[in-house]
Amino acid sequence: MSETDPAPAASGAPSAEQGESLRRENEALKESMVEIKARMTERLVFSELKAEAIKAGIIDVDGLRLLDLSRVSLDEELRVQGAAHLVEDLRARKPWLFSASSSSTRAAAPPARDATPTRATEMSDAEYRVARAKLLRQQGF
């Protein structure tokens, strides 16, 4: 025991003061846990809505503040239900908040390469000499 904690009674049972203190601490912890759970649920729902909105092509995720979050819910396995439908409703009501649909990545596909080789008859003399020398080097000559 520390110096600030009073020693338990000789019978081992906590005193009335200690019992009341523990009850207050327990209630405070329960309230704190409820508050933290509510905040984490809100963050989970907002993250799912944000992912759905990005897939739908939202220009600015601040537009999600216009949504009524009470229309989405969490199931037993903490999956968000109704997020896609809510984002589609927002897209139908306020289309200026969205651009064309996109995937989750913003990188463009690389340009297609020309698959047909250039024919020797289509090359100039200088191009032919360079291509021939390159081919001979690759073959080990």
Residue 45's nearest CA partner among 14, 68, 21, 23 is 68
Q: What is the pLDDT of residue 84?
A: 86
3-state helix, strand, coil in the chain (%, to 5): 60, 5, 40
Q: Give residue-wise pLDDT tens across range 52-93.
A: 888 888 888 888 888 888 888 888 888 888 888 888 888 888
Do the Cβ atoms of 134 and 118 come closer than 8 Å? no
**Domain spans of the chain, in order of start:** 15-102
> 17 pLDDT exceeds 70?
yes
- What band does 101 get if pLDDT is binned at 50, 70 and 90? low
Phi and psi torsions of 73, nearest 5°: -145, 165
What's the DSSP call for residue 93? Answer: H
